[in-house]
Amino acid sequence: MELDPTSGEPLYRQIETAIHRAARTGEIKSGDRLPAARDLARSLGVNMHTVLRAYNDLREQGLIEMRRGRGAVVMDSLPDVSGVLPLVRSLVAQARRTGVGPGDLKEMIDKEFS
């Protein structure tokens, strides 16, 4: 996992995105343990609280659960996001037609999530 500190996207969100991507692609599976927050923070060169914030958000989204003594574990039933992809494609197509670039579109989406 690599982070881009010059990106406008917060580091914790970049971590979340990378973990979501890994779950979608099968790189991580139900029952897999994620690295300890301290270890992941050290390997990424970020503060441990940045990783903990990402893990907490992923827990709230239902992707992982935090188990005492086992750390962050990928949930047995990953959320079904298959219905979102067609909507994303449609949104990107509309953004292109109207001249909205990727950065502006991401910013609009981030505001909706806030």
Tens digits of residue pLDDT in 97-109: 999 999 999 999 9
One domain for residues 14 and 59: yes
Average pLDDT, the chain: 89
Domain count, the chain: 2
Asked whether the predicted pLDDT for residue 69 surpasses 70, the reply is yes
One domain for residues 56 and 12: yes
Residue 17: give the domain boundaries. Answer: 1-78
Residue 35: Cβ within 10 Å count: 15
Comparing 114 with 60, the larger pLDDT belongs to 60
One domain for residues 47 and 91: no
One domain for residues 17 and 64: yes
Structure confidence at residue 80 (pLDDT) = 66
Structure confidence at residue 78 (pLDDT) = 63
Structure confidence at residue 24 (pLDDT) = 81
Residues sharing a CB contact under 8 Å with residue 66, sequence separation 6 or more, in sequence order: 55, 59, 72, 73
One domain for residues 45 and 100: no
Residues in the chain: 114
Task: Check: CB of residue 40 under 8 Å from CB of residue 34.
Answer: yes
